[in-house]
């Protein structure tokens, strides 16, 4: 029997045909995919394979792999003037490369009998919760899960909880469930829920985890954390200058939108990255021009903590993080092989980065405070990079993450 699919609740999605994914992703092909597209009956459809339809990666690290070529405006070679995929139009969805078929969905093994499905908010339709409820799309998603999950992947163990701590699937999933309970308690403001989650993470880091104790320990720990971390613990004052510099370096990675083909590894490109890194570390003057959809705004206006207490903002962010947790898109092979606890810290930093980005977008649109539309755009930018940007998985980025957590100042970046 195939593993059962676990779908996120309260989530809708349908493709709006906006073409964003066809402009911002680089699609690297396997040999099989290349051959399959070449062998399609183009003549029978009174069409021809656009030429050139392949290009080599300009990134030295992936030079050997062919990828789909770009039109002059950067769009995928198969994107039509009507915003549709030519391969899908002529030959059906099965003709598309695997990565295009799966996007924006994610699938992770969740034990021997289940697959956890998630959605990337890099797709604007997912961020704005438009389209059909996912529950109504189960058969289609089952087929995609089959495509996405390698055979026997469900037999692999879960990610470690922390270095040297490997649990079995039921115990690991009980921790995931407990984390979800803290996040989903909507009677508490989201910024406080994050403080509680960070305190819970810190406790588990120091506690010697014994599988058989978890059913008894986790409810007690919840009680303690809920009673111990309340609104009065919300961070007061601004984090230190060094903390803000480290944070901006990470948050800027989430703001990037490298046009395909731009990550060349050339000296010119490296020099540009170095200049941006210096600008974000110093935080003087205005933000550099790192992508066309973000205006240059003064750093001093950007580094102001954001209030997240409107019900719409809280609902949107809670929905986003609930999906990240329930779909296991925060640790293990899905996210730079992070262990469970490091993955939680990384989610907290992602949350802070989204708030920072939302303010940046709002300031560029002459608004002091972001509205829902700005936050949705921030989620689209951030989740495009989350778990995919090489810059966020480097040793330096992970060191910054752990330093921010250990300093206790990550809490000060999570909004009021
Ligand atoms: S970004 Fe989302 S809505 Fe837009 S074309 Fe891609 S899948 Fe469809």
Ligand 1 neighbours, Cβ below 6 Å, are: 15-21, 103-104, 123-125
CA of 15 to the centre of ligand 1 (A): 5
**Residue nearest atom 8 in ligand 1 by C-alpha distance:** 15
Give the Å distance between the CA of 192 and the centre of ligand 1. Answer: 33
Can you tell me the distance from the alpha carbon of 327 to that of 45, in angstroms, rounded to the nearest whole number?
A: 40
Residue 164 lies in a domain: yes
Beta-carbon contacts of 402 under 8 Å, excluding residues fewer than 6 positions away, are 342, 345
Predicted local distance difference test score (pLDDT) of residue 53: 92
Contact 303, 238 (CB under 8 A): yes
The total number of structural domains in the chain stands at 3
In terms of domains, do 152 and 162 share one? no
Residue 18 lies in a domain: no
**Residues 321 and 256 placed together within one structural domain of the fold:** yes
Tell me: do 139 and 268 sit in the same domain: no
* End residue of a domain, out of 131, 156, 181: 156
Domain-embedded: residue 15: no
Which atom of ligand 1 has the smallest separation from the CA of 122? Answer: 1
Ligand 1: nearest atom to the Cα of 16 = 3
308 and 278 fall within a common domain: yes
Find all residues with CB under 8 Å of 169, minimum gap 6, and list them: 110, 111, 112, 157, 158
Crossing angle for the helix pair 340-364 and 395-406, nearest 10 degrees? 90
Kindly give the distance from the C-alpha atom of residue 109 to the centroid of ligand 1, in angstroms, as a whole number.
25
By most ligand atoms within 8 Å of CB, the mutation choice from 21, 84, 97 for ligand 1 is: 21
Identify the domain boundary among 139, 156, 173.
Answer: 156
Query: Which of 383, 94, 115 lies closest to 257 in space, CA to CA?
Result: 383
Q: Output the residue whose Cα is nearest ligand 1's atom 2.
A: 123
Boundary of a domain, candidates 78, 98, 118 = 98
DSSP letters of 30-72?
A: PHHHHHHHHTS-TGGGT----SS-EEE-SSGGGTTSEEE-B-T
Q: How far is the CA of 83 from the centre of ligand 1 (A)?
A: 10
Expressed in angstroms and rounded, the spacing between residue 381 Cα and the centre of ligand 1 is 14
Task: Kindly state whether residue 235 falls inside one of the protein's structural domains.
Answer: yes
Residues 193 and 133 both lie in one domain: no
Residues 228 and 287 reside in one and the same domain: yes
**Same domain membership, residue 161 and residue 231:** yes
Whether omega before 104 lies within 30 degrees of 0, making that bond cis, reads yes
pLDDT tens track for 231-262: 666 655 668 889 999 999 999 999 998 755 55
The confidence band for 409, taking pLDDT boundaries of 50, 70 and 90, is confident
Question: Does one domain contain both 51 and 187?
Answer: no
pLDDT at 173 over 90: yes
181 and 192 housed in the same domain: yes
Averaged over 107-134, what is the pLDDT?
95
Q: In this predicted model, what pLDDT tens digit does every residue of 10-34 receive, in sequence order?
A: 899 999 999 999 999 999 999 999 9
Tell me the C-alpha distance between 21 and 35, whole Å.
23
> pLDDT (tens digit, 9 = 90+) per residue, 367-386?
988 999 999 999 999 999 99
Ligand 1 centroid distance, CA of 56 (Å): 25
Q: Do 74 and 163 reside in the same domain of the chain? A: no
Please check whether residue 16 lies inside any domain of the structure.
no
Residue 246 belongs to some domain of the structure: yes
Contact of 118 with 327, CB cutoff 8 Å: yes
CA 377 / ligand 1 centre spacing (Å): 14
Q: Which atom of ligand 1 is nearest to the CA of 126?
A: 2
* Structural domain boundaries enclosing 59: 26-98
Do β-strands 12-13 and 105-109 pair in parallel, antiparallel, or remain unpaired? unpaired
pTM of the model: 0.93
19 within a domain of the structure (yes/no): no
Residues 144 and 170 in one domain: no
Q: What pLDDT does 235 receive?
A: 53
18 CA: nearest ligand 1 atom: 4
Are residue 277 and residue 228 in the same domain, yes or no?
A: yes
Q: Please report whether residue 20 resides in a domain.
A: no
The whole-angstrom separation of Cα 130 and Cα 80 is 23
| Rg of the chain taking only CA atoms, in angstroms | 22
């Amino acid at each position: 029997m195939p593993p059962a699919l676990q779908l996120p609740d309260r989530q809708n999605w349908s493709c709006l045909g906006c073409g964003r994914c066809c402009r911002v992703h680089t699609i690297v092909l396997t040999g099989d995919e290349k051959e399959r597209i070449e062998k399609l009956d183009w003549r029978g459809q009174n069409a021809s394979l656009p030429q050139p339809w392949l290009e080599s990666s300009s990134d030295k690290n992936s030079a050997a792999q062919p990828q789909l070529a770009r039109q002059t405006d950067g769009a995928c070679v198969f994107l039509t003037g009507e915003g549709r995929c030519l391969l899908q139009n002529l030959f059906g969805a099965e003709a598309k490369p695997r990565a295009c078929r799966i996007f924006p969905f994610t699938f992770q093994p969740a034990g021997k009998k289940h697959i956890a499905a998630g959605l990337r908010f890099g797709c604007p339709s997912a961020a704005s919760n438009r389209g059909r409820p996912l529950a109504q799309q189960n058969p289609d998603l089952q087929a995609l899960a089959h495509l996405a999950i390698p055979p026997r992947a469900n037999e692999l163990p879960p990610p470690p909880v922390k270095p040297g701590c490997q649990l079995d699937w039921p115990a690991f999933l009980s921790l995931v469930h407990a984390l979800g309970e803290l996040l989903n308690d909507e009677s508490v403001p989201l910024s406080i829920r994050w403080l509680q989650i960070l305190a819970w993470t810190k406790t588990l880091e120091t506690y010697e985890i014994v599988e058989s104790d978890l059913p008894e320990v986790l409810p007690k720990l919840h009680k303690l954390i809920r009673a111990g971390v309340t609104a009065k613990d919300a961070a007061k004052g601004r984090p230190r200058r060094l903390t803000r510099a480290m944070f901006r370096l990470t948050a800027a990675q989430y703001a990037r939108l490298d046009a395909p083909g731009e990550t060349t590894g050339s000296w010119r490109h490296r020099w540009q990255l170095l200049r941006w890194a210096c600008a974000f570390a110093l935080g003087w003057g205005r933000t550099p021009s790192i992508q066309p959809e973000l205006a240059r705004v003064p750093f001093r206006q950007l580094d102001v903590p954001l209030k997240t207490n409107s019900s719409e903002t809280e609902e949107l962010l809670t929905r986003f993080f609930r999906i990240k947790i329930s779909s296991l898109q925060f640790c293990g092979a899905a996210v730079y092989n992070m262990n469970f606890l490091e993955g939680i810290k990384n989610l907290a930093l992602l949350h802070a980065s989204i708030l920072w980005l939302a303010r940046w977008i709002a300031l560029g649109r002459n608004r002091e405070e972001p509205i829902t539309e700005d936050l949705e755009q921030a989620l689209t930018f951030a989740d495009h990079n989350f778990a995919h940007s090489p810059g966020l998985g480097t040793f330096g980025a992970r060191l910054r993450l752990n330093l921010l957590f250990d300093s206790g100042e990550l809490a000060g970046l999570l909004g009021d």
